[in-house]
Amino acid sequence: MSADRENQDMTQTESDIALLLADAADGVEIGIAPVQAVMRGGRRRRTRRWAVAAATAVVVLGGSAGATLAFAGLPGEHHRTEVAAKPSSPEARHVYEPQRTELARGTYRGKEWHATVQLWGAPRDEAEADRQFDAMAELGLKPAEVRKPADLIGKISFFVTRSYGDDHAQQVMFNTVSKLEPFADTDLEAIATRFSPGAESSGRLVIGMVARTAQEVTCHWKDGLSSVARPAVGFSAHDDGNAIREADGFTTVNWFVCVAPQGTSYQSAEVTK
């Protein structure tokens, strides 16, 4: 019995250590939402704040470069263990060139539209921040709550952009934060936007984040119908635009997209599996 209890304690301690390491490396914090109303719901009803642009609705349903972690050790051991941050170049941290992932694509009124998410690494000093700020500006991107390049130091930025035909890509969802907050269970955040700059497709394109465990997101439309997004890899000629995808650099959430049929628009979204 004593040996079994020690083995159980060791397994539990190892599990706790793994969780602490994961939290230290991967946590998410979502910043300020200057526009649009937020509807709260879901299992934990946590309120997150973020920035959106050119959207019709926001729904909320319920990295650090390294870390030093100290712990007492496993049963029978008494020592200090450190996990030190490894130095890396700005290029390796994606400070000047973001990680990009295409989330969805389709055709509207004879022109192609694309939705893409990009994640920029955190600058460590003013020189890196200045260069990153200029690189974002060249792409027409404006980070949230950032008035000068130095505001970017120690923070990561993400942008969801939507392009239509030959038009310049527009940011529709974005944030600049110290850490990315992990989602769990039925946590969900989304915006409803449009395929093109015109208002006629308003509310037909829904983009959001869910926990990495989510296997199904159901989007409900105002005409009473619904669309279902499930995990997908790559694109094919049979894609309908509805999918859950992993995105490069996002270790705590996955992204989903729903596309409404013609003649209706967004009403709500929920994790259904």
pLDDT digits (tens, 9 = 90+) for 197-209: 877 888 999 999 9
| Token reading at 251 | 């270790």
Strand partners, 6: none
By C-alpha distance, which of 244, 202, 171 is closest to 57?
202
Provide the CB-side half-sphere exposure for 78 (13 A, CA): 0
**In 3-state terms, what secondary structure has residue 129?**
helix
pTM of the model: 0.71
Burial of 262 (0-12, 13-18, 19+ CB in 10 A): exposed
**Tokens 């600058």 found at:** 123
Which DSSP category does 182 fall into?
P
Residue ranges of the domains in the chain?
A: 28-64+98-271
CA angle 207, 208, 210 (to 5 degrees): 145
Strand partners, 118: 100, 159
Give the confidence band of 52 by pLDDT, cuts at 50, 70, 90.
low
Q: How far apart are CA 185 and CA 187, in angstroms?
A: 6
- Looking at every residue in the chain, the average pLDDT score rounds to 77
By C-alpha distance, which of 1, 134, 261, 103 is closest to 143?
134
**In 3-state terms, what secondary structure has residue 48?**
coil
pLDDT in tens, 158-178: 999 999 998 888 999 999 999
- Residue 5 clears pLDDT 70, i.e. is over it: no
pLDDT in tens, 73-130: 334 444 455 555 666 999 999 999 999 999 999 999 999 999 999 999 999 999 999 9
Q: How far apart are CA 54 and CA 42, in angstroms?
A: 25
- Residue 4 clears pLDDT 50, i.e. is over it: no
Quick one: pLDDT at residue 201? 87
Dmax of the chain from CA atoms?
72
